[in-house]
C-alpha cells in the first residue's frame, strides 16, 4: 500500500513539476509510513503469532486465484488443482500443529 501511495504522489510531483525539495519531503513521508508498517507487522506477530501471520501468504494466493476465476474465466489444468489442494492441506496441517503446540505450553 505504501508503494502505491508513493507511486501516486510521485506521479503528481512529476506532472506538476515540483522541486527536488518537495520530492525529498515525499521520500521522508514514505520512510515514516514504511517504518509504521513494519511496526504493525511486528505487533501482529507478537499478538497473533508467527503461524497466523505466515498464513497471509496463503491468503494472497487464494485471493489471486479467485480474482483470476472472476476476470479471466479460463479453464484450469489438473496440475493447478493438485497444487491448490496441496496448499490447502498444508495450511490445515500448519494450523493443527500450531494449535497443538499452544495446548502443550
What would the pLDDT profile of 3-59 be if each residue is shown by its tens digit? 666 666 666 666 566 666 666 777 788 788 888 888 888 888 888 777 777 777 777
pLDDT digits (tens, 9 = 90+) for 46-81: 887 777 777 777 777 778 877 887 888 777 789 988
Helices (H) and strands (E) in the chain, counts: 5, 0
- Nearest by Cα to 32 from 70, 62, 6: 6
C-alpha cell at 21: 525539495
DSSP 59-72: HHHHHHHHHHHHHT
CA–CA separation, 102 and 104 (whole Å): 5
Amino acid at each position: 500500500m505504501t508503494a502505491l501511495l508513493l507511486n501516486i504522489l510521485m506521479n503528481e510531483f512529476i506532472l506538476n513539476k515540483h522541486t527536488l525539495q518537495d520530492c525529498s519531503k515525499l521520500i521522508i513521508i514514505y520512510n515514516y509510513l514504511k517504518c509504521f508498517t513494519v511496526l504493525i507487522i511486528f505487533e501482529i506477530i507478537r499478538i497473533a503469532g508467527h503461524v497466523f501471520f505466515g498464513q497471509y501468504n496463503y491468503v494472497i494466493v487464494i485471493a489471486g486465484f479467485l480474482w483470476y476465476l472472476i476476470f479471466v474465466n479460463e479453464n484450469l489444468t489438473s496440475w493447478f488443482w493438485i497444487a491448490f489442494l496441496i496448499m490447502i492441506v498444508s495450511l490445515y496441517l500448519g494450523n493443527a500443529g500450531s494449535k497443538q503446540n499452544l495446548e502443550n505450553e
